[in-house]
């Protein structure tokens, strides 16, 4: 079954916790592919070159199919995997989490590391929040200039999202419409234009839903 909705982070951001004088800075960023995810890790390595570890985890794709994690020198299974588990538990995708650690002089043990890296990601997720992304069809509606403003206002008032407006000899509205709402759009357009205008599907895209 095709995925038509998923969660991702509401914005890029970070949060820091301290455990026995060790600092754990979690940075979260929305990414579209593995190359972007690894670029975020590389950037943080450069920015925080004085830190001992830059552990990471990322989940990619509407179905969250691509998942990777790295302990970056911490004992196996104590950093990247717990971080990945928090992301999976939150149900988010298209996101990379990087926890940068400055060692505070006290060994935390395996259990302590798992808790610290997990907690850092949880705190950062609470800080940035989440947003739902829906797969919408792009419906193009072409109107005379005299009618465009009224029709656009009517469509917005009935809950349809206008993604773009193109001005030329006529006005083209590009709407983002959920697959299940296409039939309703046809009915509404027939009503507000006296049957003179129909929508044409020109594509599809993922759109954030706040």
Span 92-110, average pLDDT:
95
Six-digit token string for 56: 């990471």
Per CATH, the number for 5-128 is: 3.30.230.30
In terms of CATH architecture, what is 133-209?
Answer: 2-Layer Sandwich (3.30)
For the stretch 20-60, pLDDT in tens is 999 999 999 999 999 999 999 999 999 999 999 999 999 99
Task: Report the alpha-carbon distance of residue 44 to residue 54 in Å, rounded.
Answer: 8
The pLDDT score that the predictor gives to residue 210 is 65
Report in angstroms the alpha-carbon separations of 122 from 74, 84, 107.
19, 11, 22
Q: Look at the alpha carbons of 81, 28, 43, 18 in this order and tell me if their dihedral is positive or negative.
A: negative
**Whole-model pTM over 0.85:** no
The pLDDT score that the predictor gives to residue 179 is 83
Q: Residue 197 — pLDDT band, cuts 50, 70, 90?
A: very high
The pLDDT score that the predictor gives to residue 207 is 86
User: What are the domain boundaries of the chain?
Assistant: 5-128, 133-209
The pLDDT score that the predictor gives to residue 24 is 98
């Amino acid at each position: 079954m095709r995925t038509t909705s998923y969660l991702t982070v509401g914005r890029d951001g970070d949060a820091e916790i301290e455990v026995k004088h060790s600092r754990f800075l979690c940075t979260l960023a929305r990414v579209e592919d593995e190359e972007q995810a690894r670029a975020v890790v590389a950037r943080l390595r450069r920015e925080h070159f004085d830190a001992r570890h830059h552990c990471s985890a990322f989940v990619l794709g509407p179905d969250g199919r691509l998942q990777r994690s790295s302990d970056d020198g911490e004992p196996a299974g104590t950093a990247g995997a717990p971080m990945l588990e928090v992301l999976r538990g939150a149900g988010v995708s298209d996101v990379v989490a990087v926890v940068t650690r400055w060692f505070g002089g006290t060994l935390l043990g395996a259990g302590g590391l798992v808790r610290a890296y997990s907690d850092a990601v949880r705190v950062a997720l609470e800080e940035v929040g989440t947003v739902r992304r829906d797969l919408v069809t792009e419906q193009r509606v072409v109107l005379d200039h005299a009618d465009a403003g009224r029709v656009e206002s009517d469509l917005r008032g009935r809950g349809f999202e206008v993604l773009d407006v193109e001005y030329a000899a006529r006005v083209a509205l590009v709407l983002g419409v959920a697959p299940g709402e296409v039939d309703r759009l046809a009915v509404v357009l027939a009503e507000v234009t006296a049957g003179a205008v129909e929508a044409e599907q020109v594509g599809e895209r993922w759109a954030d839903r706040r």
